Amino acid sequence: MRNFSLKMNNFTALIKKTLVMNRYNGITLDEFIILKEKDYPDAKGNLSKLLRDIGVASKVINREVNKAGLVDILGAAGKTNIQDEEQQKLDVFANNMLINYLKNGGQCTGIGSEENEDVIVVDTPDGHQAHYVVLMDPLDGSSNIDINASIGTIFSIYKRKSPVGPCNLEDFLQEGNKLVAAGYVIYGSSTMMVYSTGNGVNGFTLDPSIGEFCLSHPDITTPDTGKYYAVNQSNYAFFPEHTRRYIDWLVNEKRKGLRYIGSMVGDMHRTLLQGGIFMYPATTSSPQGKLRLLYECIPMAFLMQQAGGRASDGHQEIMDIVPQELHQRSPIYIGSTRLLKRVDQFVEKYSEAIS
């Protein structure tokens, strides 16, 4: 009986997606954003314009990423970013491109970027009036640029808390539950934008022949389990006991496969579409993990929640964490609900006594 109902659910989901595809077949990102604006009665088009600005900037970044192997924009730009990581020239290009489009688009009052130590205040009359702040990792996974593996742009959008005028840091330090929108662009075998404004997750593939993102993955939902887990296994000995035992369970009892690209956008895209779990746990040398809360963990947690999955730091939901600093890090366990539930059980059973 369970198999029959599972088959019926899959069949219904397929029919639903086919109907959506037929209805929206070939719709571009711009058309879709404007169409979906009707879901928000008080929408004035500002968020739609901001999302379109990010879409245009990512098309320009995509053009440079695609030719990176041909022209001299590979290799380090000779500087290091706030994370003390060597900045690749494409990192710098992507950061500057997004900042320019956001500043000139008139919908953004401030920007927090992985590449900049402090927030960027859009100190113009439009910027003072704008409603939204954007947090971003302009080119995540940039260490993969030279080996042609997937890299991506990750973004979060919040409504400002401060009144009209120059924004301030408090506008950025907001929990994930306050997000207005979030998404990523993955520059891989094809270039896709995946985003949500809190009403489901949709994916758009860039059609180079017309230079438009077109709806290709309507209403993305994450299965409640999956075949793969993704973690940097070389850190195994340095994970907390609960995580080591959880990984042992995944491998020895559930026979899950390991898939790890080393680029969060690539690993998350697979997990979002196919289910499974992505982890970047705390280690003895990095007790807060490596990934940044505001522009890596929270936007991905938002998308995963919207797609029916979950994300925690091992003890609390990522979406509930109130950020204290712009570049703070957080451990993250994110993916299918049934696999996250098991994380909770292993943490409860094997958490080291809090010293």
Task: Give the nearer residue to ligand P6P in terms of CB position, either 124 or 143.
Answer: 143
Count of CB atoms within 10 A of residue 335's CB? Answer: 32
Q: Does 269 bind ligand P6P (CB under 6 A)?
A: no
Distance CA 102, CA 63 (A): 18
Smaller CB separation from ligand P6P, 144 or 306: 144
Nearer residue to ligand P6P within complex by CB, 143 or 221: 143
290 binds ligand P6P (CB under 6 A): yes
- Binding of residue 140 to ligand P6P (CB under 6 A): yes
Interface region with ligand P6P, contact rule CB under 6 A, candidates 31-39, 115-123, 138-146, 169-177: 138-146
Closer residue to ligand P6P, CB minimum distance, 290 or 310: 290
Q: Which is nearer to ligand P6P, 215 or 231 (CB)?
A: 231
Cβ 154 vs Cβ 264: under 8 Å: yes
Question: Please, which of residues 201-240 interact with ligand P6P by CB under 6 A?
Answer: 232
The stretch among 13-21, 39-47, 136-144, 170-178 that binds ligand P6P (CB under 6 A) is 136-144
Per-residue x/- mask for ligand P6P, residues 142 to 181, rule CB under 6 A? -x--------------------------------------
Q: Interface with ligand P6P includes 270 (CB under 6 A)?
A: no
Site size for ligand P6P (CB under 6 A) = 9
Task: Tell the smallest beta-carbon distance from residue 234 to ligand P6P (Å).
Answer: 8
d(CA 24, CA 349): 47
User: Does residue 141 bind ligand P6P (CB under 6 A)?
Assistant: yes
The residue length of the chain stands at 355
Does 115 bind ligand P6P (CB under 6 A)? Our answer is no
Q: Which stretch binds ligand P6P (CB under 6 A): 125-133, 140-148, 173-181, 344-352?
A: 140-148
* CB contact set of 136 (below 8 Å; sequence gap of 6+): 98, 111, 112, 113, 114, 153, 154, 155, 156, 295
Nearer to ligand P6P (CB atom), residue 151 or residue 179: 151
Residue 275 touching ligand P6P (CB under 6 A): no
Considering the complex, state which of residue 47 and residue 94 has its C-beta at the smaller distance from ligand P6P. Answer: 94
Cβ 245 to ligand P6P shortest distance, Å? 20
Out of 205, 263, 271, 312, point to the residue binding ligand P6P (CB under 6 A): 263
Output the 3-class SS for the chain: CHHHHHHHHHHHHHHHHHHHHHHHCCCEHHHHHHHHHCCCCCCCCHHHHHHHHHHHHHHHHHHHHHCCCCCCCCCEEEEECCCCCEEEHHHHHHHHHHHHHHHHHCCEEEEEECCCCCCEECCCHHHHHCCEEEEEEEEECHHHHHHCCCEEEEEEEEECCCCCCCCCHHHCCCCHHHEEEEEEEEECCCEEEEEECCCCCEEEEEECCCCEEEEEECCCCCCCCCCEEECCHHHHHHCCHHHHHHHHHHHHHCCCEECCCCCHHHHHHHHHHHCCEEEECCCCCCCCCCCEHHHHHHHHHHHHHHCCCEEECCCCEHHHCCCCCCCCECCEEEECHHHHHHHHHHHHHHCCCCC
Select from 37-45, 105-113, 159-167, 259-267 the region that touches ligand P6P (CB under 6 A).
259-267
Minimum distance from residue 219 beta carbon to ligand P6P (Å): 26
One residue of 97, 135, 264, 318 binding ligand P6P per CB under 6 A: 264
Which residues make up the interface to ligand P6P (CB under 6 A)?
Answer: 140-141, 143, 232, 262-264, 267, 290
